[in-house]
Amino acid sequence: MTKKAFQDNPLDTPVQFIKGVGPRLATVFASRDIRTIRDLLYFFPRKYEDRSKLALVKDLVEGSSASLKLTVHQAYMRPLRGRFSKLLEVKAFDQDKQWISLKWFRTYKGFEQKFEPGIKIIATGAVKVFGSIREMVHPDIQFDLEEELHVGRIVPIYTEIDGIPTKTLRKILDTALSLALPSIKEELPVPALRKHGLPGIAHAIREVHFPPVIPGGQTTQGEEAFADFKSPAHQRLIYEEFFKFEWHILSKRLNLEKEKGHPLDSARLKASLQAHLKALPFTLTRGQTEALEAIGGDLCRPHPMNRLLQGDVGAGKTAVAFLSALGVMDQGFQAALMAPTEILAEQHYMNLKRLYGEQVPVKLLVGKTTTTERRVIQELLDTGGAALLIGTHALIEDPVKFRNLGLVIIDEQHRFGVDQRRKLREKSVIQPHTLVMTATPIPRTLALTAYGDLEVSVIRERPPGRTPIKTRLIRPAEHRKMIEVITHELNSGRQAYFIFPLVNDSEEESFKHLKSAVSAAETLANEVFPQFRVGLLHGQLSPSEKAAVMERFRKNEVQILVSTTVVEVGVDVPNATIMVIEHPERFGLSQLHQLRGRIGRGQYASTCFLKTDRPEHIPTPERLEVMCETEDGFRIAEADLELRGPGEFLGTRQSGALPFKIASLVRDQDWLIKARDDVMQILKADPSLKHPENRPFKAYLETSGKLESAHLKTS
């Protein structure tokens, strides 16, 4: 690569051609999706270390990190038994002649030869203390004391890239910045940056990688600002990520509002909903009423509804969805409700039949539906007349065609991928109204990002008659007492769930200690509760076997249901008052909350036991403490987001992971709101980005912004 290549397009230059990289390291960088100088500059530090001050050996404290200026006394290799064959140990002392030992269990060839007796080094690392002996294991070593990138300042620490030492990475980054920094162009509207007092993009990137040093070794903003990602440079980059993301999301919503939809007649909808409400054996809660009113308003607009209905377990979302479907059907349209499991789809079908009998033309389509019945269903849809089709993934199979699809309802939407939701909507020539539901409450920041192109309705209260659930953490010493409580409940006519993380016993070493559903069902039936009937439910059973087990449990022909997480969603047995979750530390917080929601659905007091094999002296994960403290799904969702981060919270089925390299939905909520508000203002005032100050952003949207937008399909 010639020098001219750098001048023509420095940011798009392959990293291979940066001094110190070459083909071998370029391959290593590529394994982390770093292929160009642009990719490298946007590979941000994960934290910072204050190496502006040098410590003395006598002041070192166990567990702390420090930088020491040392003189090497001797270095030698020591043979070891077991996993590591050799240990490199370096004895060194500071200016007070205080000694410290530096140790490496893994080194590269020739590394030990660098520690010649008498040379000066700076060692940075975590401190261990054994009596009067202090040591550092695998410290970072600075041999060239004139080099300013690694010492005497606040130093960036990056996510490790195997085969590229951190010091090497800093040098490569410094070179890349000197080559390409002038080529980084401003893309955001300058007035928005001025409004928040944010620096330019090139300045921000430079400072995030190398905080500026002033005399005395301090940074201009101080260590805390960089450690907390609150320096102006960090805030600038965080704001940019949120601004671009929100533009993609909100402009999608704007485009959807321009599409032609199926507007309903407002007066007719109001009348039909009032009639259907009178037929219900219960009264809607305030949250349900507000959600239904918002949905009704959307259904009467000329563009398609695109709304997320979220509420805690048992909040009554399904009733709102049914009423919405009935309102659409009363005006001659067809509706489809897609559920993630056959158990849940069948439950929705039976509930609607129980409420309205034969008054509503409703059909069920699941994997086991016969060919004859499928033909009857398709003939009904072909007429174009009002109908509600409830089903699983079978709804999106090619043979199924709607002639007049007015409303699509996706239940437990996080269980479906984006393509599956899109395929169902594409069953209609005109874009249907779409209502997606989730019983996993979504924190506000996630709702504004992952589901930012949706209007959001929230049902917070539980319907009257639902009983509180007491949650208790059970350690080995309390197992016997727990069995006594469960026996009393079962003798009183109630039922219980026992939930296990595995179907069968595993031979894998890391799972040998875990109990499985199959073996536990035998033990519970034969040894612990021989006087009660025990059923077994798991994902390896056929759909008909699952349905048979659940029906027996619903009828109380089975008092104890041993299951895996297949019962997490939608199973509704009001007589079940006990849930025992074995090995609860194996489950995520939101998943535990979903499982717990299978009880407390009737008039009886309910208890959820989180049964752990950990003895008293071993601390339990923080999420188990959260479960015992609250039933509020929204508080649990916020805690889950903080504990796991957005990627795991959303799960692998949700479309493209959120593309934030430096922004955090937990830490930077304020900047998300600021960016969203600014985007909304520009979309209202200059949606085509014709104003001069918005042209650079328009240029971004027409180039790299297209690719980014394609990765953010959330509906």
254-293 residue pLDDT tens: 877 778 888 999 999 999 999 999 888 888 999 999 999 9
Mean pLDDT, the chain, as a whole number? Answer: 84
Nearest to 540 by CA among 507, 576, 568, 565: 565
As a 3-state breakdown, the chain gives helix, strand, coil percent values, each rounded to 5, of: 45, 20, 40
Residue 243 has pLDDT above 90, yes or no: yes
Number of H helices, E strands in the chain: 24, 23
The 10 Å CB-count burial string (b at 16+, else e) for 229-268 is bbbbbbbbbbbbbbbbbbbbbbbbeeebeeeebbbbeeee
pLDDT tens-place string over residues 197-233: 999 999 999 999 988 865 544 445 566 788 889 999 9
Helices (H), 466-564: 479-491, 517-523, 543-554
Nearest to 584 by CA among 509, 474, 658, 677: 474
Residue 40 has pLDDT above 80, yes or no: yes
Q: What is the pLDDT of residue 608?
A: 96
What average pLDDT does the segment 632-649 reach?
A: 72
Q: What is the pLDDT of residue 353?
A: 85
Whole-number Å distance between alpha carbons of 182 and 558:
72
307: helix, coil or strand? strand
Whole-number Å distance between alpha carbons of 495 and 322:
29
**Cα pseudo-dihedral 547, 553, 557, 559, rounded to 10:** 150
Residue 182 has pLDDT above 80, yes or no: yes
The 10 Å Cβ neighbour count of residue 276 is 19
Q: What is the pLDDT of residue 639?
A: 80
Backbone angles phi, psi at 92, to 5 degrees: -145, 165
510: helix, coil or strand? helix
Q: What is the pLDDT of residue 488?
A: 95
Question: From residue 518, how far is each of 244, 345, 597, 612 by CA, in Å?
Answer: 50, 26, 23, 19
When pLDDT is cut at 50, 70 and 90, the band that residue 315 belongs to is confident
Q: What is the pLDDT of residue 146?
A: 55
What percent of the chain has pLDDT above 70?
87
Q: What is the pLDDT of residue 214?
A: 54
Most confident range (mean pLDDT) of 344-358, 483-497, 573-587, 603-617 is 483-497
Whole-number Å distance between alpha carbons of 28 and 31:
5
Backbone angles phi, psi at 457, to 5 degrees: -115, 140
Residue 678 has pLDDT above 90, yes or no: yes
When pLDDT is cut at 50, 70 and 90, the band that residue 586 belongs to is confident
Q: What is the pLDDT of residue 712?
A: 58
Contact 668, 449 (CB under 8 A): no
Residue 654 has pLDDT above 80, yes or no: no
pTM (predicted TM-score)? 0.66
The top-level CATH class assigned to 266-459 is alpha beta
Q: Which structure tokens are listed for 3?
A: 């020098």
Q: E-assigned strands of 7-142?
A: 47-50, 65-79, 86-93, 99-104, 120-130, 133-137, 140-142
What average pLDDT does the segment 411-428 reach?
A: 66
Residues 6+ apart with CB under 8 A from 492: none
Q: Which structure tokens are listed for 709?
A: 């937008």
Q: What is the pLDDT of residue 83?
A: 61
Q: What is the pLDDT of residue 147?
A: 62
Do 54-151 and 266-459 show the same overall fold?
Answer: no
When pLDDT is cut at 50, 70 and 90, the band that residue 414 belongs to is low
Least confident of 65-69, 418-422, 571-575: 418-422
Whole-number Å distance between alpha carbons of 434 and 299:
10
Whole-number Å distance between alpha carbons of 334 and 408:
9
Whole-number Å distance between alpha carbons of 502 and 516:
5
Residues 6+ apart with CB under 8 A from 416: 338, 340, 410, 653
Q: What is the pLDDT of residue 247?
A: 92
Q: What is the pLDDT of residue 601?
A: 83
- Report the CATH number of the 469-630 domain: 3.40.50.300
Q: What is the pLDDT of residue 84?
A: 58
Ordered DSSP codes for 22-61: HHHHHHHHHTTT--BHHHHHT---SEEEE-SS-B-GGG--
Q: What is the pLDDT of residue 694?
A: 95
Top pLDDT among 621 and 273 is at 273
pLDDT tens-place string over residues 488-545: 999 999 999 999 987 665 544 344 445 678 888 899 999 999 999 999 988 788 877 8
Token pair 């589901």 is found at 451
Residue 7 has pLDDT above 50, yes or no: no
pLDDT tens-place string over residues 127-163: 998 777 899 998 888 886 656 666 667 888 888 888 8
179: helix, coil or strand? helix
Contact 459, 311 (CB under 8 A): yes
Domains of the chain by residue range: 54-151, 266-459, 469-630
Topology classification of domain 54-151: OB fold (Dihydrolipoamide Acetyltransferase, E2P) (2.40.50)
What average pLDDT does the segment 374-402 reach?
A: 87
Residue 514 falls in which region: left (phi positive, over 0), alpha (psi -120 to 50) or beta: beta
